[in-house]
Amino acid sequence: MSALETTALAVAGITGGTVAEAAADRANIFEMTDAAEAAVLRPLYAGGFSHELRAALAARVARQAGDAALADHYLHAAGDMAALADPDETGAAQGLAGVVAFCDKAANATKDIAPEDISTLQDAGLSDADIVRLCELAAFLAYQLRVVAGLRLMRGGSA
């Protein structure tokens, strides 16, 4: 894969020109971003969160941020979990209401996360490692959304 074949560049609509040239000059950054995406969304050891669930949550966070293109990109890998990409879906039907609520809060109101939020997940049976995985997903998506928005602005579009 070349630096120009990354999620961030594809979703931002960067296919050539000066922005693509600038990206090529910083290929290592885009390659590391794609490696981080793979580690967070498609890890070799997924723990309690399947790749499909991770993709659905990623699509959900992107939708909540107003990025339909990034949401659609992740939705393609959501499989049976695709319903969770809808921000109006609570996750109750899948037994994931606590996970969905925490993901929403971590992505959209990070500063409001309290010890009780972690305790609630632990009480629901989530391992500490899975709670960290959920936080990693939210953190990566915050980064990815900003990278894509910046690339769009560089291209002359809107964030």
pLDDT above 80 for 48: yes
Residue 10, both tokens: 């594809």
pLDDT confidence of residue 156: 78
pLDDT confidence of residue 29: 76
64-121 tens-digit pLDDT: 999 999 999 999 999 999 999 999 999 999 999 999 999 999 999 999 999 999 999 9
What kind of fold does domain 3-155 have according to CATH?
Answer: AhpD-like (1.20.1290)
How many Cβ atoms sit within 10 Å of the Cβ of residue 125?
A: 9
Q: 16 versus 59: which is more confidently predicted?
A: 59
Q: Report d(CA 7, CA 73) in Å as an integer.
A: 8
13-36 tens-digit pLDDT: 666 676 666 666 666 777 888 889
The model's pTM is 0.86
pLDDT confidence of residue 20: 63
Domain ranges of the chain: 3-155
Question: What 3-state class would DSSP assign to 131?
Answer: helix
> Contact at 8 Å (CB) between 75 and 55?
yes
> Contact at 8 Å (CB) between 100 and 61?
no
